[in-house]
Structure 1
Amino acid sequence: MKITEHNVNGVVYLSADGFEAAGGVVHGFSTRLGGVSQGIYATLNLSMNRGDDPDHVRENYRRFCAAIGAGSERIVCSSQVHGDTVRTVTAADLGVGLDQPEPWQADGLVTDIPGVTLTVFSADCLPILLYDPVRRVVGAVHAGWRGTALGIVTRAVERMSQCYGCQRMDILAAIGPGISKCCFETHEDVPNAMTEAMGAAALSFIQVLPTGKFRVDLKGLNARRLEAAGLDPEHIAVAEDCTCCLPEKYWSHRYTHGERGSQAAMIALA
């Protein structure tokens, strides 16, 4: 599978061609292009809690959802806390408005309810979308370095299998734009967390620098976790774009020192 870029009425977003080929689902990874927000939030900010004008954010949601073909009235998101909790979204979870505080903490969401738009937010952390076209189940995951070490994407695959009977070889996965190895320079706490969690399998995704710091490939680590969870490597697409390298196209928490809006990744069963 590959990640492809689209421009619909000025809204630039990314998608996985394998999801589109399978049919029955709408999805997309936003950029910061195509909205109405201003200043540090220009232009397609999709976060309601970073100080942007709420009316601008609502219009940004309308534009992005229209571009990818999703329903903005049934969006479900959560309070992301860099953990490994995956919530199964049911009909009882619907109806929380974008202006309302998220009712629970989770970094992964899964559902089999058509029309429910699962949403995760990012600005360097990885947004990861999952789709089983056979059992008709979707998932959305937020994976920063802590979530990667904890195995949040593995937890999501397990939840899809346990709750909905998904066969892992049927699941498609798309790892969206996030900070890449070129820009993710860290101290030893990050590589130590990866090797403690994944053992020798993590080593090829960690580069030791002459300064004593490290560069870590979060995209590669999550792709490896997906393969270890039972997915077909041909069913995993990885976005090449680095959010920190492309500040005009994406928000990067690291590049802006936290003065930013947020991207969103959305997926819904059609």
Structure 2
Amino acid sequence: MNITEHNVNGLVYLAADGFEAAGGVAHGFSTRLGGVSEGKFSSLNLSMNRGDDPDKVRENYRRFCAAIGADMTHVVCSSQVHGDVVRTITTADLGIGLDQPEPWQADGLVTDIPGVVLTVFNADCLPILLYDPVRRVVGAVHAGWRGTALGIVNRAVDRMVDCYGCDRLDILAAIGPGISQCCFETHEDVPNAMTEAMGASALHGIQVLPTGKFRVDLKKLNVRRLESAGLDPDHIAVSADCTACLPDKYWSHRVTKGERGSQAAMIAIV
């Protein structure tokens, strides 16, 4: 599978060609291109809680959801806390809307309810979308370095299997744009967390620098996580885009020192 770029009337987003080929799902990874927000939020900011004009953010949602074929009135998101909680979305969770605070904390969402638009946000952390076209189940995961060490994506796959009877070999995964190894320079706490959690397999995603610091490849580590969860390697797509390298296309928390909007990744059964 591959990640491909789409442009709908100037709104640029990414999608997984394997999801599109399987059919039955609307999905996309947003960029910062094609919205109406201004200043540091220019232009497709999808965060309601960073100080942007709420009316402009709603219009951004309308545009992005229209581009990917999702219903913005059915968006479901959560308060992301860099943990390993995965929430199963049921009909009891619907109807909250964009103007109300998220009622629970979770960094992963899964559901089999058609029309529900699972949404996670990012600005360096990895957005990961999951889709089982056989059982018709979707998932959305927010994986920063802490979530990667905790195995948040493994827990999402496990929840799809345990709650909905998914076969791991049927699940497709798409890792969206996030900070790449070229720009994710860290102290020893990050690689230590990875090796403690993943053992020697984590070393393939860690580069030691002459300065004594490290560069960590969260994309490669999450591919290993997905493979260890039982996914077919051919069913995993990874975006090459680095949010820190492409400031005109994405927000990077590191580059902007927190003065930014947010990208979103969305997925819904149709």
TMscore range, shorter length: over 0.9
The percentage of aligned residue pairs carrying the same residue is: 84
1:162 is matched with which residue? Answer: 162
Could you tell me which runs of 5 or more consecutive residues in structure 2 were left unpaired when the two chains were aligned: none
The AA in structure 1 aligned to 2:24 is G
1:117 is matched with which residue? Answer: 117
Structure 1: how far apart are the matches of 2:206 and 2:100? Answer: 40
1:104 is matched with which residue? Answer: 104
Structure 2: how far apart are the matches of 1:106 and 1:89? Answer: 11
- Per the TM alignment, residue 160 of structure 1 is displaced from its structure 2 partner at its CA by 0.1
- Per the TM alignment, residue 99 of structure 1 is displaced from its structure 2 partner at its CA by 1.1
Structure 2: how far apart are the matches of 1:238 and 1:51? Answer: 31
Structure 2: how far apart are the matches of 1:114 and 1:143? Answer: 24
2:200 is matched with which residue? Answer: 200
- Per the TM alignment, residue 9 of structure 1 is displaced from its structure 2 partner at its CA by 1.1
1:63 is matched with which residue? Answer: 63
The AA in structure 2 aligned to 1:144 is G
- Per the TM alignment, residue 257 of structure 1 is displaced from its structure 2 partner at its CA by 0.5
1:248 is matched with which residue? Answer: 248
2:218 is matched with which residue? Answer: 218
2:174 is matched with which residue? Answer: 174
- Per the TM alignment, residue 97 of structure 1 is displaced from its structure 2 partner at its CA by 1.4
State yes or no: 1:34 paired with 2:41. Answer: no
1:95 is matched with which residue? Answer: 95
Structure 2: how far apart are the matches of 1:239 and 1:46? Answer: 20
Structure 2: how far apart are the matches of 1:201 and 1:127? Answer: 22
Structure 1: how far apart are the matches of 2:181 and 2:32? Answer: 21
- Any idea what the Cα deviations from partners look like across 1:132-159, whole Å, max 9, x if unmatched? 0000000000000000000000000000
2:147 is matched with which residue? Answer: 147
1:183 is matched with which residue? Answer: 183
Structure 2: how far apart are the matches of 1:89 and 1:38? Answer: 33
State yes or no: 1:84 paired with 2:56. Answer: no
TM-score of the aligned structures, taking structure 1 as reference length: 1.00
Structure 1: how far apart are the matches of 2:25 and 2:204? Answer: 34
Give the secondary-structure state (helix, strand or coil) at the position aligned to 1:21.
helix
Q: Which runs of 4+ in 1 moved over 6 A?
A: none
Structure 1: how far apart are the matches of 2:232 and 2:204? Answer: 20
Give the secondary-structure state (helix, strand or coil) at the position aligned to 2:240.
coil
- Per the TM alignment, residue 204 of structure 1 is displaced from its structure 2 partner at its CA by 1.0
Structure 1: how far apart are the matches of 2:99 and 2:126? Answer: 24
Structure 2: how far apart are the matches of 1:195 and 1:243? Answer: 25
